[in-house]
């Protein structure tokens, strides 16, 4: 399965009031492996930026002045995304901006041009109800290193989102999935096995092995200042009538 992790940075919060996209970052994953075939665009929004937004992403009007407008990269972006599941954190925000940009260049709405859209914010709210589920909060909860995130950046955030998504979707079957991925094969259905029908052999220890075990316990006794838990469990309990 081909999946694209996408993030945008914008001049503000409302495409309806004329705010525009200033950065798009895309990370490609194929069969749960990051491919390195990514896309990254800085865009001239054709309007002045909002000071609060600039404090968040650091993309000034001067920096963006010589960058291409969305119309110049629309075909390249949408050709890249075609046929993929696009994964976005708080998808309604980014899709709203993308729809507005696509409308300006006479193209169909974003959801009509991709295979599917998955919102990791909705996924996280189902998994962690009542908790903060921002990208930063998920990175901390799922132990994804985001120490390089001093400013918001579309490509950086898309990469962090990819790591978060992998951990969000790693369930009890992950070891089977990873084994199949390492071997380049397909995950197969595993039949349940009744382990109670198996007798595990218990080999007898030699005198040398018993002596080595006893010496190891003695060393532990000395180190902890008392009997090891192994000796305590081995002693018979005094039963009071």
Residues 60 and 154 in one domain: yes
pLDDT band at 152 (very low <50, low <70, confident <90, very high): confident
Look up the CATH number of the domain holding residue 54. 3.30.420.10
Of 86, 139, 135, 89, residue with least CA distance to 110: 86
Residue-level pLDDT at 235: 62
Do 138 and 221 fall into the same domain?
no
- pLDDT score, position 107: 97
Q: Is residue 174 part of a domain?
A: yes
What whole-number distance in Å separates Cα of residue 7 and Cα of residue 102?
16
- The string of DSSP codes covering 77-107 is HHHHHTTSEEEETTHHHHHHHHHHHHHHTT-
Q: Is residue 188 part of a domain?
A: no
pLDDT at 84: 98
Q: Which of 42-56, 205-219, 223-237 has the lowest mean pLDDT?
A: 223-237
Structural domains counted in the chain: 2
Closest-CA residue to 22 (of 151, 185, 129): 151
Query: What pLDDT, on a 0 to 100 scale, did the predictor assign at position 76?
Result: 98
With 50 as the cut, is the pLDDT of residue 57 above it?
Answer: yes
Q: Given a cut of 90, is residue 193 above it in pLDDT?
A: no
d(CA 134, CA 61): 27
Q: How large is the C-alpha radius of gyration of the chain?
A: 28
Determine, yes or no, domain membership for 191: no
Q: Which of 54, 76, 216 is nearest to 151 (CA)?
A: 54
Give residue 224's domain range: 204-234
Instruction: Identify the residue with better confidence: 109 or 209.
Output: 109
Q: How far is CA 141 from CA 87, 89, 124, 126, 130, in A?
A: 19, 16, 11, 15, 14
Catalytic annotation, residues? 152
Residue 7 lies in a domain: yes
pLDDT score at 209: 82
102 and 51 inside one domain: yes
- Residue 177: what pLDDT? 44
Other C-beta atoms closer than 10 Å to the C-beta of 42 total 18
């Amino acid at each position: 399965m081909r999946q694209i992790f996408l993030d945008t940075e914008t001049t503000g919060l409302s495409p309806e009031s004329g705010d525009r996209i200033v950065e798009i970052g895309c990370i490609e994953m194929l069969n749960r492996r990051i491919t390195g075939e990514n896309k990254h665009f800085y865009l001239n929004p054709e309007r002045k930026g909002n000071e609060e937004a600039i404090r968040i992403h650091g993309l000034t009007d001067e920096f963006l002045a010589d960058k291409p407008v969305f119309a110049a990269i629309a075909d390249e972006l949408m050709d890249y995304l075609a046929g993929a599941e696009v994964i976005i954190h708080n998808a309604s925000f980014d899709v709203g901006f993308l729809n507005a940009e696509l409308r300006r260049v006479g193209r169909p709405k974003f959801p009509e041009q991709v295979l599917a859209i998955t919102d990791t914010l909705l996924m996280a709210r189902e998994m962690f109800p009542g908790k903060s589920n921002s990208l930063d909060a998920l990175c901390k909860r799922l132990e994804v290193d985001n120490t390089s995130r001093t400013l918001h950046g579309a490509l950086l955030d898309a990469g962090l989102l990819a790591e978060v998504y992998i951990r969000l979707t790693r369930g009890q079957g992950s070891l089977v999935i990873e084994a199949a991925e390492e071997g380049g094969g397909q995950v197969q259905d595993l039949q349940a096995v009744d382990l109670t029908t198996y007798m595990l052999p218990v080999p007898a220890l030699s005198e040398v092995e018993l002596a080595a075990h006893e010496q190891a316990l003695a060393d532990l006794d000395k180190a902890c200042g008392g009997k090891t838990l192994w000796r305590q469990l081995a002693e018979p309990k005094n039963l009071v009538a």
